[in-house]
């Protein structure tokens, strides 16, 4: 029978475990309790490391055992306690601590008991003590088995936590390697691409960056015209000189000229001081004429003159000023068509169109989408201090989407999802409703649901599976106006299967 002192130690152990969440400190406390109250010489709490599959000492001793190695390893292997009354007579005793056992006057006994979760041994609790008698050894074994029982549940929590931590770290590392490969692909900071189309553009940009050749960037809104313009500047020897952007569509027509060329004091009412124009400010650097298709015809001819003569005159002055600027222009309009219609000067068009670069819309280079997703998830996770990964299912869905607003829309979407996400992994449920709706409208409804179901097989965490299933069913019901037969068809299930799951997940049948 257990002695009073042993019961009291058991009580104190349970109390300590429920008080503090600091696992290593608690384990140390338990070791101390055992050795001081029960006069154990040494207490070993060993735990199976799930990653190395070795039994390792938890108390900071440099001890580890393979399965079946020594007495401790045998307890791990067979899952039963082993008691050695006199270790000096036991060949299997490894004495890893190198204690001087031979010269001891008293016999030393060793007891090792398994720490189990169900049938699985997750650790071994072992002690050594001065030999008393056989009956007392049995009582100590019984007592230690109880301690091991308490430790089991406790250490499992710890191991689960460590495994999860490790998994997240590995996923992060994986993301990082992916990011590194992305970066090395374009070699330009802030530009992520994998598609041949964009990599070719990157090549062109690298080649023309250090010339003064005018570049005309065209493409839909949000494809990256401005990032490429900046990249050209950064890659050129003008990098440490100004990069000045003029949005030709945003400045009122009568102000555009003074913005570009500056003015002298008194040039017009309100011109109280002399002001330099953007061309002068950009001297030695680059001027980025954004939305060039929106430049008024009259100004187009003035711009043409600057491009030809490389000199400007401030408003209200006849003095010419030499300027050395590199011109990059961008537009989402079709300039060629505008030339035909007479709204854009043909000569200016040819002046600008020295190096034409057309950036295709995202839907025509879907290979870039996964890379961009990883890049933005990483970027915004850091910005908003969240640890986030993204499910493969979501990457597939977003790759499927048409992205009318191109990279800008994708970027905004990811930022929003990162901000709103409450879990550690972005997936189906985090998709904004409008995108979800458009994806469904693509008459891919069935496919989307099937993909969602694919996820069910992929993920092994039961809670997530159920959540996904529940949401897929709810959506299908909504989609089919709560006609179970229709919903079942969408889901690729029988109506009976759907009804069963509605009951299981408590989904009401709305009218």
Using CB under 6 A as the binding rule, whether residue 202 contacts ligand ATP is answered as no
Using CB under 6 A as the binding rule, whether residue 223 contacts ligand ATP is answered as yes
Using CB under 5 A as the binding rule, whether residue 474 contacts Mg ion is answered as no
DSSP 105: S
Using CB under 6 A as the binding rule, whether residue 408 contacts ligand ATP is answered as yes
The residue nearest Mg ion at its CB is: 226
Closest to 224 measured CA to CA, from 201, 247, 257: 201
**Which C-beta is closer to ligand ATP: that of 193 or that of 323?**
193
Q: In 328-405, which residue ranges form alpha helices assigned H by DSSP?
A: 335-341, 346-352, 368-383, 392-400
Separation of alpha carbons 290 and 254, rounded Å: 17
Separation of alpha carbons 357 and 382, rounded Å: 33
Q: What is the DSSP string of 195-257?
A: SHHHHHHHHHHHHHTTS---EEEE-STTSSHHHHHHHHHHHSTTTTS-EEEEETTTS-HHHHH
Using CB under 5 A as the binding rule, whether residue 294 contacts Mg ion is answered as no
Name the minimum Å distance from CB 21 to Mg ion. 51
Contact 75, 114 (CB under 8 A): yes
Name the minimum Å distance from CB 277 to Mg ion. 21
Contacts of 282 (CB under 8 A, 6+ apart): 241, 242, 243, 244, 323, 325
Q: Tell me which of Mg ion, ligand ATP, none is bound by residue 191, counting a contact when its beta carbon lies within the kind-specific cut-off of 5 to 8 angstroms.
A: ligand ATP
Place of tokens 């910005």: 383
Q: Tell me which of Mg ion, ligand ATP, none is bound by residue 407, counting a contact when its beta carbon lies within the kind-specific cut-off of 5 to 8 angstroms.
A: ligand ATP
Of the residues 81, 123, 152, 224, which one makes contact with ligand ATP according to CB under 6 A: 224
Pair type for strands 108-117 and 311-313: unpaired
Name the minimum Å distance from CB 390 to ligand ATP. 16
Place of tokens 């904004």: 432
Here the tokens at position 54 are 């070795």
Q: What angle, 0 to 180 degrees and rounded to 10, lies between the N-to-C axes of helices 368-383 and 134-186? A: 120
Q: Tell me which of ligand ATP, Mg ion, none is bound by residue 54, counting a contact when its beta carbon lies within the kind-specific cut-off of 5 to 8 angstroms.
A: none
Using CB under 6 A as the binding rule, whether residue 222 contacts ligand ATP is answered as yes
Q: Is 315 exposed, middle or buried (0-12, 13-18, 19+ CB in 10 A)?
A: middle
Separation of alpha carbons 317 and 496, rounded Å: 85
Residues in the chain: 511
Name the minimum Å distance from CB 34 to ligand ATP. 59
**Which C-beta is closer to Mg ion: that of 24 or that of 190?**
190
The residue nearest ligand ATP at its CB is: 224
Of the residues 87, 191, 459, 498, which one makes contact with ligand ATP according to CB under 6 A: 191
Contact 174, 389 (CB under 8 A): no
Cross-strand bridge partners of residue 123: 47, 115
Name the minimum Å distance from CB 331 to ligand ATP. 8
At residue 89's C-alpha, the angle toward residues 88 and 92, to 5°, is 90
Of the residues 116, 225, 238, 275, which one makes contact with ligand ATP according to CB under 6 A: 225
**Which C-beta is closer to ligand ATP: that of 219 or that of 285?**
219
Using CB under 6 A as the binding rule, whether residue 370 contacts ligand ATP is answered as no
Name the minimum Å distance from CB 248 to ligand ATP. 12
Using CB under 6 A as the binding rule, whether residue 332 contacts ligand ATP is answered as yes
Which range of residues in 104-112, 217-225, 302-310, 345-353 is near ligand ATP by CB under 6 A? 217-225
Using CB under 6 A as the binding rule, whether residue 90 contacts ligand ATP is answered as no
Of the residues 72, 258, 300, 411, which one makes contact with ligand ATP according to CB under 6 A: 411
Of the residues 28, 54, 142, 226, which one makes contact with Mg ion according to CB under 5 A: 226
Contact 79, 67 (CB under 8 A): no
Which range of residues in 39-47, 59-67, 199-207, 215-223 is near ligand ATP by CB under 6 A? 215-223
Separation of alpha carbons 22 and 13, rounded Å: 14
Using CB under 6 A as the binding rule, whether residue 407 contacts ligand ATP is answered as yes
Using CB under 6 A as the binding rule, whether residue 114 contacts ligand ATP is answered as no
In the complex, which residues of this chain contact ligand ATP (CB under 6 A)?
190-193, 219, 221-227, 332, 407-408, 411
In the complex, which residues of this chain contact Mg ion (CB under 5 A)?
226
């Amino acid at each position: 029978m257990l002695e009073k002192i042993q019961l009291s130690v058991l009580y104190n152990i349970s109390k300590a475990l429920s008080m503090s969440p600091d696992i290593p400190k608690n384990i140390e406390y338990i070791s101390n309790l055992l050795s001081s109250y029960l006069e154990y010489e040494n207490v070993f709490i060993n735990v199976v490391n799930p990653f190395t599959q070795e039994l390792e000492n938890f108390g900071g001793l440099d001890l580890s055992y393979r399965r079946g190695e020594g007495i401790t390893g045998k307890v791990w292997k067979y899952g039963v306690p082993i008691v050695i009354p006199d270790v000096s007579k036991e060949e299997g005793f490894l004495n890893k601590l190198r204690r001087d056992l031979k010269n001891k006057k008293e016999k030393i006994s060793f007891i090792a008991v398994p720490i189990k979760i169900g049938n699985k041994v997750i650790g071994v609790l072992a002690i050594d003590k001065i030999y008393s008698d056989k009956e007392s050894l049995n009582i100590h074994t019984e007592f230690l088995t109880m301690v091991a029982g308490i430790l089991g549940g406790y250490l499992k929590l710890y191991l689960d936590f460590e495994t999860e931590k490790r998994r997240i770290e590995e996923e992060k590392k994986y993301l990082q390697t992916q990011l590194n490969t992305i970066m090395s692909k374009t070699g330009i900071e802030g530009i992520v691409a994998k598609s041949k189309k964009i990599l070719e553009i990157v090549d062109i940009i690298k080649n023309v960056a250090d010339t003064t050749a005018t570049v005309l960037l065209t493409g839909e809104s949000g494809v990256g015209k401005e990032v490429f313009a900046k990249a050209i500047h950064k890659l050129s020897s003008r990098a440490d000189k100004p990069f000045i952007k003029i949005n030709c569509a945003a400045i009122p027509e009568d102000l555009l000229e003074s913005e570009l060329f500056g003015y002298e004091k008194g040039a017009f009412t309100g011109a109280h001081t002399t002001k330099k124009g953007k061309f002068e400010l950009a001297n030695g650097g680059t001027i980025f004429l954004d939305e060039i298709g929106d430049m008024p015809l009259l100004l187009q001819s003035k711009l043409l003159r600057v491009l030809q003569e490389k000199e400007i005159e401030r408003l209200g002055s006849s003095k010419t000023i030499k300027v050395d600027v590199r011109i990059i222009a961008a537009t989402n309009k079709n300039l060629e068509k505008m030339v035909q219609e007479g709204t854009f000067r043909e000569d200016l068009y040819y002046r600008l169109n020295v190096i034409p670069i057309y950036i295709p819309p995202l839907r025509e280079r879907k290979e870039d989408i996964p890379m961009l997703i990883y890049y933005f998830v990483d970027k915004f996770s850091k910005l908003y201090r969240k640890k986030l990964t993204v499910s493969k299912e979501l990457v597939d869905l977003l790759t499927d989407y048409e992205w009318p607003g191109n990279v800008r829309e994708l970027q905004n979407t990811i930022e929003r999802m990162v901000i709103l996400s409450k879990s550690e992994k972005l997936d189906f449920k985090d998709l904004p409703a409008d995108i979800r709706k458009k994806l469904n409208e693509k008459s891919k409804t069935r496919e989307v649901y099937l993909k969602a179901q694919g996820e069910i097989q992929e993920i092994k965490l039961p809670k997530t599976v159920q959540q996904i299933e529940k949401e897929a069913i709810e959506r299908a019901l909504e989609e089919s106006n709560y006609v179970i037969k229709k919903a079942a068809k969408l889901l690729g299930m029988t109506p009976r299967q759907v009804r069963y799951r509605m009951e299981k997940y408590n989904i009401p049948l709305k009218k």
